[in-house]
């Protein structure tokens, strides 16, 4: 069994792993391939990666997921699949992130096992408490500052973010338009870190952007 094939349990020190959560977006692929972009983010300090593919043909998605998993193993970074529990199961991902309209956390847990990471999107204290009760390991809360990657986002204030952090015992990350310029306004809310898309992958130097975001996240969040 090679290092990239072995099972790794990242659920035990998850809070530290959520400092800089990188979510891929194929629309930013250009000079670099998606895999090269992810590698640049990891070199710069991305601490966890979510592969998000809404339109890729299934066999290509699965192949890509296996490549990204191997890359993440090299950097000892957890690798999650957005929405698709089947792909997460088939490629041996470290977990899955679910929206409010995706599979239930309980069903994902039953299928993926106890040592996998299950994240859930939440927009209110009620949704957050339900997600935790149903077995979520962490919550992604937003959109805090709008979003350049989603059109159907729900606006969440920093006050609601703080209320959610206080209402649950699992880690919370902020998502939705978060970048180096505005992330300081989230200090004191109780989040473990930030999830970013364009603040990483739309930047001319992804590695440098990741380094700056990770350093600031380590300083601001607990």
Per the domain annotation, does 114 fall within a domain?
Answer: yes
Give residue-wise pLDDT tens across range 194-213.
999 999 999 999 999 999 99
Q: Render pLDDT for 35-72 as a digit per residue (tens, 0 to 9).
A: 999 999 999 999 999 999 988 999 999 999 999 999 99
* Contact present, 104 and 134 (Cβ < 8 Å): yes
Q: Give tens-digit pLDDT for 85-107.
A: 999 999 999 999 999 998 899 99
- Please give the residue range of the domain that contains residue 189: 14-217
Residue 118 burial (CB count, 10 A): 25
Residues tagged active-site = 52, 121, 150
Backbone φ and ψ for 122, nearest 5 degrees, come out as -140, 145
Q: Is the peptide bond before 79 cis (omega within 30 degrees of 0)?
A: no
Whole-model pTM: value is 0.94
For residue 2, pLDDT over 90 is answered with no
Query: The CATH number of the domain where 201 resides is what?
Result: 3.20.20.70
The pLDDT of residue 3 is above 80: no
The pLDDT value recorded for residue 1 is: 36
In tens, the pLDDT along 161-190 reads: 999 999 999 999 999 999 999 999 999 999
Q: What is the pLDDT of residues 48-58, one digit of tens each?
A: 999 999 889 99
pLDDT of residue 9: 85
Angle at 83 between CA 81 and CA 88, to 5 degrees: 40
Q: What is the pLDDT of residue 148?
A: 62
- Residue reference for tokens 């350093």: 215
For residue 82, pLDDT over 60 is answered with yes
User: Does residue 222 belong to any structural domain of this protein?
Assistant: no
- Is residue 144 included in any domain, yes or no? yes
Asked whether residue 51 is assigned to any structural domain, the reply reads yes
In terms of C-beta density within 10 A (0-12 exposed, 13-18 middle, 19 or more buried), how is residue 114 classed?
A: exposed
pLDDT at 74 over 50: yes
Judge whether residue 23 has pLDDT over 80: yes
Helices (H), 117-172: 125-133, 158-167
User: Is residue 75 in some structural domain?
Assistant: yes
Q: Is residue 9 part of a domain?
A: no
Count of domains for the chain: 1
- Residue-wise pLDDT for 112-158, tens only, equals 999 999 999 999 999 999 999 999 999 999 999 976 666 566 789 99
Residue 79 has pLDDT above 90, yes or no: yes
Residue 146 within a domain: yes
pLDDT at 5 > cutoff 60: no
Q: Other CB atoms closer than 10 Å to residue 219's CB: what's the count?
A: 9
- Within a domain: 7: no
């Amino acid at each position: 069994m090679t290092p990239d094939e072995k099972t790794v349990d990242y659920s035990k020190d998850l809070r530290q792993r959520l400092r800089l959560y990188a979510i891929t977006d194929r629309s930013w692929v250009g000079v670099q391939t998606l895999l090269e972009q992810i590698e640049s983010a990891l070199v710069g300090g991305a601490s966890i990666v979510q592969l998000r593919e809404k339109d890729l043909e299934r066999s290509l998605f699965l192949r890509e997921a296996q490549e990204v998993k191997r890359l993440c193993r090299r950097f000892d970074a957890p690798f999650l699949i957005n929405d698709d529990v089947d792909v997460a199961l088939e490629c041996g991902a470290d977990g899955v992130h679910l929206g409010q309209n995706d599979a239930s956390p309980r069903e994902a847990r039953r299928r993926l096992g106890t040592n996998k990471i299950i994240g859930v999107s939440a927009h209110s204290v009620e949704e957050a408490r339900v997600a935790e009760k149903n077995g979520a390991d962490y919550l992604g809360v937003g959109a805090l500052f709008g979003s350049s990657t989603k059109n159907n986002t729900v606006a969440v204030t920093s006050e609601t973010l703080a209320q959610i952090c206080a209402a649950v015992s699992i880690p919370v990350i902020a998502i939705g338009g978060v970048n180096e310029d505005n992330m300081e306004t989230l200090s004191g809310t109780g989040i473990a870190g930030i999830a970013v898309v364009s603040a990483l992958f739309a930047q001319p130097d992804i590695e440098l952007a990741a380094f700056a975001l990770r350093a600031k996240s380590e300083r601001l969040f607990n």
